[in-house]
Amino acid sequence: MPVNPRRPQPELALTPAQEAFRDEVRDFLGRVAPKQWLEPGWRPPSDVKERLAFQREWDGKLRDAGLVGMHWPAEYGGRGASLLEQAILEEELAWCGAPQAGLTFVGLNLVGPTLIAHGSPAQKTRHLPAILASEEVWCQGFSEPNAGSDLASVRTRAAVDGDALVINGQKVWTSYAHAADFCMLLCRTNPEERRSRGLSLVIVDMHAPGVEVRPLRQATGESEFNEVFLTDVRISRADVIGDIDDGWRVAMTTLLHERGTALLGIQVRQRQLVDRLIARVKTMERDGRPLAQDPMVRQALARASIECDVVRHLGYRCLETAIRTGLPGAEGSAAKIFLSDFIRRFSRTALDIAGAAGLDMGEEDWGHQYLGSFALSIGAGTTQIQKNILAEHLLGLPRG
């Protein structure tokens, strides 16, 4: 049976309306969330088509309750929710074990806000309703083999040809490209300009001639990351988001939404794993002695529990900064580094405690989590880039 998770009270004071919203979300999830979601080791279907059907069904329930794209303005189908309300939703979804957005995350959380801020009326009419209805799957074509987190070094070229752009280049680490209908792609339209100048953000139909997707097999056996090759791919100038050569400014809107309030939901899921491991250790023996009496095990679990609380406090600090300034701040980089290190360290702790059985403890697949943890130091900005951000923007050190 799943451990009844403890729900820490938020450090940020909630207004009566926000408390009522939390109660609304809890009541809704208590009625519609399947009980098996809280069972240890439960995961959505791995097959892409089955997973997409599963995601659309669940998104439909959330949409009926006004909880999909709730941060979008009301005129585009959202409810204009505040960052704090988004954080409340992320936490409650995690507490009930709800599946993470996955295939629809990029469209709802990155593409949608970018189109709302910079898209043309035609782009908004064409794509926003389909994104909100989970009818379109999107991917984000930013990173390249020689331009990972340093996006200003993008080399994928889009040559202007009358009313069209012809794109040639390669993207890598593109999540969900194998299932996507469209890609929001950053490319260089003016090769005479250096770094961030001369870039454009465009919409690419992933089914267009010249688009080739090659899944990358991960250590976990999954293939959520992909390489994308573009050879003479033609798009209309009407598919440029914003203006040509102004893509860097437009892309900053996307990056501001990239992590958002997701850290708080991730923290809750890790807290549940820590609590479940602690409960499991209380039932285990090694060499005829209760494992919970082993001082090394007790110390490792105490550290994991404390560090999980640290992640929570970092998440609330990032949220407070974003609410106060409208920007995520350097705290987001510190939180990203700590979270990545914590999940890898905790997963390894679980494997060490469980021994060979840790590869599949029946309830938790710690081997899967440990192998998957290595991707966390790459996704959404590598650890090295995050350290550079802290050095330059927090410590005032010169650019490396």
Residue 295, judged by CB atoms within 10 A of its CB (0-12, 13-18, 19+), counts as: exposed
Strand ranges inside 237-281, DSSP E: 240-241
Cα→Cα distances 23→20, 27, 73, 152, Å: 5, 6, 22, 44
| Phi, then psi, of 176 in degrees rounded to 5 | 65, 15
Q: Which of 24, 222, 258, 363 is catalytic?
A: 258
* Token duo for residue 59: 């998104």
Long-range CB contact pairs, 54-63, < 8 A, 24+: 54/99, 55/99, 55/101, 55/102, 55/103, 55/104, 55/134, 56/104, 56/134, 58/98, 58/99, 59/104, 59/134, 60/134, 61/32, 63/132, 63/133, 63/134
Gyration radius of the chain over CA positions: 22
Q: Which residue has the tokens 């820590």?
A: 274
Within 13 Å of residue 216, how many CA atoms lie on the same side as its CB?
A: 16
Strand ranges inside 242-323, DSSP E: 285-286, 289-290
> What amino acid occupies position 115?
L
Angle between helices 331-354 and 366-373 in degrees, nearest 10: 150
> What amino acid occupies position 3?
V
Interstrand relation of 285-286 and 138-141 (parallel, antiparallel or unpaired) = unpaired
* Token duo for residue 55: 């995601």
| List of residues 6+ apart from 37 with CB closer than 8 A | 96, 97, 98, 99
Strand-pair partners of 214? 227
| Phi, then psi, of 392 in degrees rounded to 5 | -80, -45
Q: Does the annotation mark 331 as catalytic?
A: no
Give the separation between CA 87 and CA 108, rounded to whole angstroms. 15
Please identify every residue annotated as catalytic.
258
